[in-house]
Amino acid sequence: MTNTEEYLAAIKPEQQTEIRRLMEVVRWHVPTAEEGFAYGMPAFKYEGKPLVYFGAFKDHMSIFPTSAPLDDPDLSRLLDGFEVSKGTVKFTLDKPVPDATVIALLDHRIAAIQAHR
């Protein structure tokens, strides 16, 4: 696969819907984000730096916010109940990541990018 549309066409329809929802949250919250495709997944950059990736797998989906969300206690609380490891939030269709949590992850990453200017 070489682009987002090919990627989406290759995953389950219900996963397509969820990834598209997440992408729409990014477009709405960070309108200056550059949409792309990296590491074989739909991706966004902010100010030329990786912002977030989205992946669909056999039994789950993941958000890759490219920075460790657990280093922020407020994010850690928002992610309670999700499987989280450094730079990855796993979720299922039965328990999607709420928009507000996605926005908090984006804000966390944007702050990290801005801090390293």
- Does residue 111 sit within a domain? no
* CATH number for position 78: 3.90.1150.200
Q: How many domains does the chain have?
A: 1
Q: By residue range, what is the domain housing residue 59?
A: 4-99
Residue 41 has pLDDT above 90, yes or no: yes
pLDDT at 2: 87
3 state SS of 101:
helix
pLDDT at 48: 95
Q: Over the stretch 10-38, which tens digit does the pLDDT of each residue have?
A: 999 999 999 999 999 999 999 999 999 99
Tell me how far apart the alpha carbons of residues 71 and 18 are, in angstroms, rounded to a whole number.
26
- Does residue 108 sit within a domain? no
Residue 50 has pLDDT above 70, yes or no: yes
pLDDT at 40: 96
C-alpha gyration radius of the chain: 13
Is residue 110 exposed (0-12), middle (13-18) or buried (19+ Cβ within 10 Å)? Answer: middle
- Does residue 112 sit within a domain? no
Residue 69 has pLDDT above 70, yes or no: no
